[in-house]
Structure 1
C-alpha cells in the first residue's frame, strides 16, 4: 500500500514539475529519489497501523478471540 500511495504522489508531483520547469535529468534524480525514499519510510508505520487496526476492527487473523482454522488438506 505504501508503494501505491507514494507512487501516486511522486508521479503526480514529478509530472507537474516536468510540465512547468526545465530541470536536467540529474536534478530530477537529486529531487525525486530522496523524496521517494523519505516518503516511503515516513508512511510505513502509519499504513501498517491502519492495516492492523482494520484487522482488529473486523476480528481478523487472531483478533477475534478464536484460533484461525488452517486447512492443511482442503477437500476439492
Structure 2
C-alpha cells in the first residue's frame, strides 16, 4: 500500500500503532516511506519502547522496516 500524502499515511499509522503497542505486531515492512515515517514518529512517543528502522533494497525496490523492542 502506498499513500499519496503523509497525512493519509499518518491516519493509517495511527490505527496500526495501537496494534504494535498491544504487541499484536512487533514490526511492519512497506515500500512507502511515508508509512515508515509516520509509524516511527508515533511509536517514538512511547518511552517504554525502542524503535528500530532500516531500509532494505530488494529487486530495485526500497523496503522500509520499522520494528519495536521493549526497554530492558
The alignment's TM-score, normalised by the length of structure 1, stands at 0.28
Relative to its length, the structure with more helix (as a share) is 1
- If you compute each CA radius of gyration, which structure gives the higher value, 1 or 2? 1
Relative to its length, the structure with more strand (as a share) is 2
